[in-house]
Amino acid sequence: MEPRGDLTPLVRIDVGGTWVRIDSDGALRRTPAPSRINHPDVPAPALVDRLLDQLVSAAPDTGRVVVSLGAATDDVTGTVRGSGPLWGDWRMDRDLVGELRRARPGVEWHVFNDVTCGLADFAESVAHESPASVGYLTISSGIGLKIADLGTRTVKVDDDGLQGEVGHLPAVLPLEQAHLGRLPCECGGSGHLASIGSGPGIARVAAALGVGRYSTDWFRDALAAGDEEAGTLLATVTRPVAELLRTIWVTQPWMAVVGIGGGVVEGVGAAYRSALLTHLRDAGGYAAGSPDAWERRVRLLDRPGVDVLRGAQLLAERSLVVTRAQEVVSTP
Ligand SMILES: [Zn+2]
């Protein structure tokens, strides 16, 4: 949608599984999200209705509202497909943007997937390096990846409007850890990347490895203190993430940098990147890539982390444009 004349006031909203953050003219407030996490007994369609009410009541009568939504979303059409933290395993096909426009027609609404918003913010921060292509990998309650082609300033998606739902790919595990392939995933599957590497996944791996002391606070503090058990746990949960990064570069060598962020990375900090680089350097073989190249490629976004509110605003301003993959390759 092309920008119209009057785009003020601007309201920026971040919908996560736990909180909804609303930034109205620089004043930021936070309310509990109407989510499956906060309301496990409320049916998913009713939770979506509550979210719509919350978004509409936060909107002014005119101006622009940009939303970063923690759900699998078709960023071309604004159709929402589903979200484990918000709505559990319920799969839907709901025109959220259309409903918002009908409820508050004087407002220019923009709704984007939160990983796309994180990508837009990260891409802006590395644009001065003129990379051909950048990625953003989020490791939090789930795992997601989005890649932008900065030559065309596009994010290419498939027919369903999706790209980079990597959390539900099978985790690549060494033979001695094959038993971790039985660990469940929020999607109902098992042995997925998110079964092992996401926030809930790390807790599952800790239990499987017999780390009885595990909590997120213990993990951070123990890593800082050089605790061996914590180091082994971090090495285990980052291994399949490193394999994902290697796959990205083998198939897409034009990728210049990948920013790695999200709640898990922000909590663990610099040790997370060190663990990834150790796996990537240890691979061996002529196709492994040089250590210097991995140092350049893998960026840690722990502090201050990505700003999805800014990312949503950048996408509304078309700093990146989400487009169907086949539309990009069509040439005269
Ligand atoms: Zn899964």
**Could you tell me the CA-to-CA distances from 238 to 136, 189, 198, 275 in Å, in that order?**
16, 20, 10, 7
Task: Read off the pLDDT of each residue in 213-242 and give the average, rounded to a whole number.
Answer: 97
CA 240 to ligand 1 centroid distance, Å: 14
Percentage with pLDDT > 90 across the chain: 75
Give the distance from CA 188 to its chain's centroid: 19
- Checking if the pLDDT of 330 tops 80, the result is no
Residue-wise pLDDT tens digits, 260-293: 999 999 999 999 999 999 999 887 666 666 778 8
Task: Read off the pLDDT of each residue in 66-81 and give the average, rounded to a whole number.
Answer: 92
- Checking if the pLDDT of 320 tops 50, the result is yes
Cα–Cα distance, 61 to 104 (Å, whole number): 7
Of 119-133, 228-242, 251-265, highest mean pLDDT: 228-242
Task: Find, among 85, 117, 146, the residue nearest to 14 by Cα.
Answer: 117
3-state secondary structure 54-84: HHHHHCCCCEEEEEEECCEEECCCCEEEECH
The residues spanned by each domain of the chain are 10-117+312-327, 129-300
CA 241 to ligand 1 centroid distance, Å: 14
State the amino acid at position 297 in one-letter form.
Answer: R
Whose tokens are 């006031």? That residue is 9
DSSP string, 178-232: GGGGG-B-TTS-BSBHHHHHSHHHHHHHHHHTT-TT--HHHHHHHHHTT-HHHHH
Task: Read off the pLDDT of each residue in 127-147 and give the average, rounded to a whole number.
Answer: 93
Task: Read off the pLDDT of each residue in 214-241 and give the average, rounded to a whole number.
Answer: 97
- DSSP SS3 for 94: strand
CB contact at 8 A, 280 and 294: yes
Task: Find, among 167, 152, 150, the residue nearest to 240 by Cα.
Answer: 167
CA 165 to ligand 1 centroid distance, Å: 9
CA 141 to ligand 1 centroid distance, Å: 12
Task: Find, among 78, 58, 56, the residue nearest to 69 by Cα.
Answer: 78
Residue-wise pLDDT tens digits, 23-45: 998 899 999 999 988 999 999 99
Q: What is the pLDDT of residue 96?
A: 93
Surrounding residues of ion ligand 1, Cβ less than 5 A: 168, 185, 187, 189, 192
- For the domain made up of 129-300, the CATH class stated in words is alpha beta
10-117+312-327: CATH topology: Nucleotidyltransferase; domain 5 (3.30.420)
